[in-house]
Amino acid sequence: MLRRIARAGLARVRRSLRGTRLDPGLDLVNIWSGQSSAAATASYWPRAEVERIRRGLTEGVTIFGLLRTEIAIGEAARRLTRAIRTTPYPCATRTISIPEVFKEPIAFEADDALRQFDTALLVFNADTLVNLLRADKIVPRDLVGRRRIGFWHWELPVFPANFAPAFDLVDEIWAPSTFVAASIAPLTAKPVRIVPHAVPSPEIDRAQARRELDLPADAMIYLTTFDFNSRLARKNPLGAIRAFRDAFPSPHESGPILVVKCHGQNNFPESYREIKAQCDADPRIRLITEIFSSERISLLQAACDALISLHRGEGFGLNPAECMALGKIVIATAFSGNMDFMNAGNSLLVPYQPRPLEKDEYIFGDGQWWAEPDHAAAVEALRRAASRASDVLRLAENARTQMRRDYSYEQIGRIAVEALRGTRKPFVP
């Protein structure tokens, strides 16, 4: 049945892309590529002006992103910028701001100067890119004559038909994982290249981190972390809480504790009340709701012993990747983007059963499916992590070694430059 759902969803998206045209408010995008009608070109950007701009461009990339925003796509833009800056490739940034929605407290070393570079790297998901143009958050002139690359995420197997207009906005697409690339590539003839996220590996003393965060010095500490804006059903922190309580049903002073770190609760008050009630019901669970800087998130990850991510779908899986890079035991659903870097030799993987999404569980989720992690297996994985047996600790050390080798800023910078220069092969579905 699920194969039929996937095939039907893919067919629906392909039908929606046939003859796709953007609404009149977005006609400018066709002019950027020099493919507009003569009338539209005359109204906006004459072809001669577009060619004049192109002749004045030099090799380099301007990264457009939510560089000060406290959400994952903002972190993606920050990391990609830092990665490319480890290379000699010319790179500038342009910060896009949405203060109507986000607090935007993140400090970042952005220059925000428009350089005459030939490539614009637009680190926004497909729907966000369309909405930012409609809202005049991105200035069309900044993109005239330039190659435009969209960096897109998606967390379900089929890319939504609702995102179809975004294909006309870009010349190629980057995806952070095989899972995301596989959802996009069947729908376009444009190149789709996999450029993973960089995953830093800071050296942080676990004991010092616990002192700074006022966490017990000797307890086994599990961590689950999420953003309410990423949707409760997808991140599934309630599954992590339930697994923790069932794994350790008899509380005692020297037993493990669970830290639940979240933010974005003001946008989802009902979901927050549900999480808070579950946390308040168990004195071993500590709820943290403040927005942390990336440095403080790293401190929290260093303070824990194991991460629990019983997600139902991930575009990449930054939290598991970050904890792996710190040499932590990671317990995660064996599904979606995280499977590019997780395996039985470096993680405690939780099997799952595919299931159709229920109504309103996730945006554009009608007719789609995702993973339902096996609760009993998750409980067993938590108990196995608590044993801290030699084979479990070996998994964590393997994870640290792999992440530092394959996902450093320097390595991802090299991959990004290969993609910018077209020498990184496109994904083939």
Q: Is the pLDDT of residue 112 over 90?
A: no
- Average of per-residue pLDDT across 149-156: 96
What does the pLDDT look like over 171-216, one tens digit per residue?
999 999 999 999 999 999 999 999 999 999 999 999 999 999 999 9
In tens, the pLDDT along 322-363 reads: 999 999 999 999 999 999 999 999 999 999 999 999 999 999
Q: CB–CB of 222/259 below 8 Å?
A: yes
Mind listing the pLDDT tens digit for each residue in 411-424? 999 999 999 999 99
What secondary structure does DSSP assign to 283-351, as a single string?
TTEEEE-SPPPHHHHHHHHHH-SEEEE--S--SS-HHHHHHHHTT-EEEEES-SGGGGT--TTTSEEEP
E strands present in 108-220: 117-123, 147-151, 172-175, 192-194
- List CB contacts of 89: < 8 A, sequence separation 6 or more: 59, 60, 61, 413, 416, 417, 420
Yes or no: domain 206-407 corresponds to CATH 3.40.50.2000: yes
Single-letter code of the amino acid located at 209: A
Q: Residue 288: pLDDT above 50?
A: yes
Q: How far is CA 194 from CA 82, 118, 340, 367, in A?
A: 18, 21, 11, 26
Q: How confident is the model at residue 23 (pLDDT cuts 50, 70, 90)?
A: very low
**Which of the four pLDDT bands, split at 50, 70 and 90, describes residue 21?**
very low
Global pTM value: 0.88
What number is the average pLDDT over the span 229-256?
91
Tally of CA atoms within 13 A in the half-sphere of 389 that contains its CB: 9
Contact 22, 168 (CB under 8 A): yes
Q: Of 262, 231, 259, which is closest to residue 328 (Cα–Cα)? A: 259
Residues 72 and 77: their CA atoms lie apart, in Å, by: 9
Confidence (pLDDT) at 113:
66
Domain regions of the chain by residue span: 8-198+410-420, 206-407
Closest CA to 161 of 11, 355, 29: 11
Matching fold, domains 8-198+410-420 and 206-407: yes
Which overall architecture, per CATH, does domain 8-198+410-420 show? Answer: 3-Layer(aba) Sandwich (3.40)
